[in-house]
Chain A
Amino acid sequence: DGGITQSPKYLFRKEGQNVTLSCEQNLNHDAMYWYRQDPGQGLRLIYYSQIVNDFQKGDIAEGYSVSREKKESFPLTVTSAQKNPTAFYLCATSASGASNQPQHFGDGTRLSIL
């Protein structure tokens, strides 16, 4: 079954802890994205990657890190430097980085502070 799998669905972070959110896709898409969603603010881009072993900062990259070692995987680490991490995190993919290509989304991970 093709799609984008985000795990876990719910995640809790303790003070000073780094946590990693998983995003895996089997759509054979080149481009992958991470967004943060807060109530009433729409989606904001954290990081994106158009190709393996390359990624770029989005609008709110501070306190986050990513890697793209495989085409299928684009994990996001929320570091202790991110002081307000409570949000809904969405991973997306597109066939290429071209601007006419729609993005397809996973079902999200909700991160909360303990």
Chain B
Amino acid sequence: AQSVTQLGSHVSVSEGALVLLRCNYSSSVPPYLFWYVQYPNQGLQLLLKYTSAATLVKGINGFEAEFKKSETSFHLTKPSAHMSDAAEYFCAVSDPRVPGGYNKLIFGAGTRLAVHP
């Protein structure tokens, strides 16, 4: 069965510093991968997705993620953190082999990002 692990439930960075949020998946074949962001008391917003095209994926708000099959990872990065990036981030996977194509997303537990001045 597929699973997603987000290392670090809380990450704290200084404004202007590199943001690195880790996501590892467990699957026998490369899955489809997604990163979402959630601000307090709101729904999830799609940041970016990997669906077997380019391994380096650029998303909204300056975020990007790189799919590394050998490491079964899809880490999210941003070169320079902004105060507005403070939120909770979720990595999710879906299985491309599911018959009938039902899009069941498996979510990680989330990483809360704090940005301090």
| Chain A residues within 8 Å of B, Cβ to Cβ | 4, 6, 31, 40-43, 45, 48, 50, 90, 92, 94, 96-108, 110
Contacts and interface: CB of A to CB of B under 8 A. Distances in A.
Interface of B: 9, 32, 34, 36, 41-46, 49, 51-52, 90, 94-96, 98, 100-105, 107-110
Contacts of B32: 99-100
Contacts of B98: 99
Contacts of A100: 32, 49, 51-52, 94, 96, 103
Given A97-B102, A100-B32, A108-B41, A43 B107 contact: yes
Contact of A99 (B42, B43, B101): B101
Given A100-B103, A104-B46, 17 more contacts: A43-B44, A43-B90, A43-B105, A43-B107, A45-B104, A48-B104, A92-B44, A96-B101, A97-B103, A100-B32, A100-B51, A101-B103, A102-B46, A103-B46, A105-B44, A106-B43, A108-B41
Contacts of A101: 103
